[in-house]
Amino acid sequence: MFFRRSKQDTAKPRAIEPEEAAKAESEPLKLDSITPEPVTDVTVAAEAEKAPAKANGTPSGSDNAPMEPKIHVDPKALGFETTADLEPEGDLIGQERALEALAFGAGMKGPGYNMLVVGPAGSGRHTAARTKLEATASKTGAPPDWVYVSSFDSIGRYRALKFPSGTAKSFAEGMARAIDRLKEALPAAFGAEDYELRRRTIEEEFRFSRADALEALRRQVEPQNIAVLSTPAGIAVAPILEGKVVSTAVFNSVPEQLRNGIEAKIAAVETEIEAILARTPDSEKMLSEGLMVLNEQVAGRQVSAALEEVKCEFEDISGVKNYLKAAARDLVRNAGLFVSEAGKVDEGPRVPINTTGDPRFARYRVHVMAARGVNSAAPIVQESNPTYANLFGRIECGGGAESHEPQVVRIRPGALHRANGGYMFLDARALLAQTAVMDALLRALSECEIRFDPPAEPFGVSAGEVPDLEPIALDVKFAVFGEAADHRQLAKQWPDLPRLFKVEARFDDTIDRSQEAVAAYARLIAGIVTRHSLKPVDCGAVAVLIDEASRRAGGNGKLSLEVGEMADLCREADHWAGSAGRAVTSIADIERALEQRNERAADARGSVV
């Protein structure tokens, strides 16, 4: 927090000796912006605050050594009227070693050269890291895209396919269009007259073969006074007497010798009927196979036509050709899913159904895990809440209308997928609160792969039913931000951390006060003004801001490097300048901003008490 600039106490002016007065008239006062000794750009005020000074410079009522004089920047010595006259500085000054470490970590190839960025909040570490990494990322080029697709096997595995940058979304959209075409084309094909005619022909062929055998047997045994009858209960055999089928009671009244002869013939006919009926399952199997071949032919033509566009555009990409073949086979086998009342081919026309959002058709969805622009740079992703789902992604499951088994409806990418081929920013303190996630992250770094192995089951999935996702190759450079204590705690809990994070970029919170540093600080303020589109700040206000940076650093020849606090102060002063109708921010606006800050801080302390 900044404190309001102190003012000299003029209640009791110090007595001036004649020798001093003569010397003062003959020699102008020299200024110094670096140390308490007078040089050319600061004013030295040796008066103690709120107490008159003794002639020898020692505060009254004190036997100690003289207090360190307070140093104030002389606005005239800064060499400009307003910040509009300056070339704006970036976010950082005096952090050369940290910037060199960031540049080394960003450009270093090979595993393990991830970065620990150490420094206090507000030191500009995030902005500096992003600036350095953006410069490297712009030269790297866009990394490949990644998707997950079903393997169409009984285990429910998903394969990871790598695509050239900027093509994964086109592939996913092409597959979606193909499925949409099939929901129109398949019902139309199976409802066509040609299909109905061919299907009835196959069914009648096998139905007549059994009926013909039974009819031949009936004609063969009828002269022998035996009837072969079709009843609701099945095929029956009965005796014939005097040209009529007789009941059991009548048949039992005939002579025993005649009855025995007819019974023997009936037994033989029943044996023959059983033989004919025994051949029926084979016939029904042949009928089923015949219809299956017909259905595959009809569906196959429609599926091939629907996938042709995707095949022509993407089949040269590794794995895509095999995927399309497997998808085509599965689509043909499950063509009935695309028509309502599948299997009831005789009961009216088929109508297309809506495949969008239906879990039964989710197996054909292409899940895009990473997609870039064709000419984009390597990604830089910041994840402030590193939960497992946020880093590694998550799976959403649902059940089909006719099945209780879970179906993968959507596979959502995590920050690791989005950052793959680029850089990721993480917070050390947030990682310390996620022990299981940190274990998984270090495992991913060690194995250089993104493996989905969540500590809890995805929603809608029972234990042991988590879909098997093929790991995706991991190529991410990490930058973990935190204060020194946070990084020490990380290294204590995970001893492998130094092996995986070999680069440390340490940001200082102060810089030595020098004439060069004061000039750089003025340019830093000009950079804040430009970046936030603020009003120009005059040289007097800049001098006050530099004094505040010195006081914030505790004096002793230092300047605070908490750029965030300085930017907040500039924005608040800009507000007060605007309220006063000024086009340039002045000392009064800076001091009012400081006064308001102190009052808010006092109110906050009072409310806590």
User: If pLDDT is split at 50, 70 and 90, which confidence band does 602 have?
Assistant: confident
Return the higher-pLDDT residue of 206 and 13: 206
The arithmetic mean of pLDDT across residues 83-109, rounded, is 87
Q: Would you say the C-alpha torsion 559, 562, 563, 569 has a positive or negative sign?
A: negative
Is the pLDDT at 355 greater than 90? The verdict is no
Q: What per-residue confidence (pLDDT) applies to 52?
A: 37
Residue 586 is predicted with a pLDDT of 95
Q: If you average pLDDT over residues 279-306, what whole number do you get?
A: 82
| pLDDT > 90? residue 304 | yes
Question: d(Cα 114, Cα 497) in Å, to the nearest integer?
Answer: 10
pLDDT in the model for residue 348 = 38
Q: Which residues contact 71 (CB under 8 A, 6 or more apart)?
A: 32, 33, 35, 36, 42, 43, 44, 547, 550, 555
pLDDT number for residue 442: 95
User: Has residue 354 got a pLDDT over 90?
Assistant: no
pLDDT tens digits for 447-476?
999 999 887 765 555 545 678 899 999 999
Element (H, E) at 160: strand 158-163
Please give the model's pTM, rounded to 2 decimal places: 0.69
Sign, CA dihedral 127-133-137-143, equals negative
**Lowest-pLDDT choice from 34-48, 169-183, 195-209:** 34-48
User: What value does the mean pLDDT of the chain take?
Assistant: 80
Please report the pLDDT score of residue 358 as a whole number: 67
Lowest-pLDDT range of 44-48, 348-352, 410-414, 427-431: 44-48
* Res 401 pLDDT > 70: no
In the predicted model, is pLDDT for residue 21 greater than 80? no
pLDDT for residue 326: 94
Q: What is the pLDDT of residue 282?
A: 63
**Res. 228: pLDDT tops 60:** yes
CB 111 within 8 A of CB 448: yes
Among 213-217, 575-579, 588-592, which is the least confidently predicted range?
A: 213-217
More confident residue, 397 or 582: 582
What confidence score (pLDDT) does residue 150 get? 94
Can you tell me the mean pLDDT for 374-383? Answer: 86
Pairing of β 70-73 and β 115-118: unpaired
pLDDT category at 366 given cuts 50, 70, 90 is: very high
**Looking at the predicted structure, is the pLDDT value of residue 40 above 60?**
no
Whole-number Å distance between alpha carbons of 40 and 428: 45
Nearest to 214 by CA among 223, 205, 227, 232: 227
The three-point CA angle 553-558-562 to 5° equals: 45
**Structure confidence by residue, pLDDT tens digits, 56-94:** 333 333 344 333 444 578 898 999 999 999 998 876 788
pLDDT given for residue 46 in this prediction: 31
- Per DSSP bridges, beta strands 406-412 and 394-399 are antiparallel
Mean pLDDT of 507-519: 90
178: pLDDT strictly greater than 60: yes
**pLDDT attached to residue 411:** 93
Higher pLDDT, 26 or 399: 399
Query: 126-135, 498-507, 563-572: lowest mean pLDDT where?
Result: 126-135
Q: Give the residue from 568, 513, 552, 506 showing the smallest Cα distance to 125.
A: 506
Considering only residues 604 and 535, tell me which one the structure prediction assigns the higher pLDDT. 535
CA dihedral of 310, 311, 314, 315, whole degrees rounded to 10:
160
Residue 608 pLDDT class (50, 70, 90 cuts): low
From the list 63, 62, 42, 60, the residue with the least C-alpha distance to 51 is 60
pLDDT at position 477, please? Answer: 94
* Domains and their CATH numbers in the chain: 1-81+508-609 (1.10.8.60), 95-141+377-505 (3.40.50.300), 167-353 (no CATH)
Pick 335 or 339 by higher pLDDT: 335
What confidence tier does 312 reach under pLDDT thresholds 50, 70, 90?
very high
Task: Tell me the backbone φ, ψ of residue 116, rounded to 5 degrees.
Answer: -100, 115
pLDDT for the residue numbered 217? 82
Among 190-194, 441-445, 589-593, the least confident range: 190-194
Mean pLDDT of 287-294: 82
Q: Which tops the pLDDT comparison, 54 or 455?
A: 455
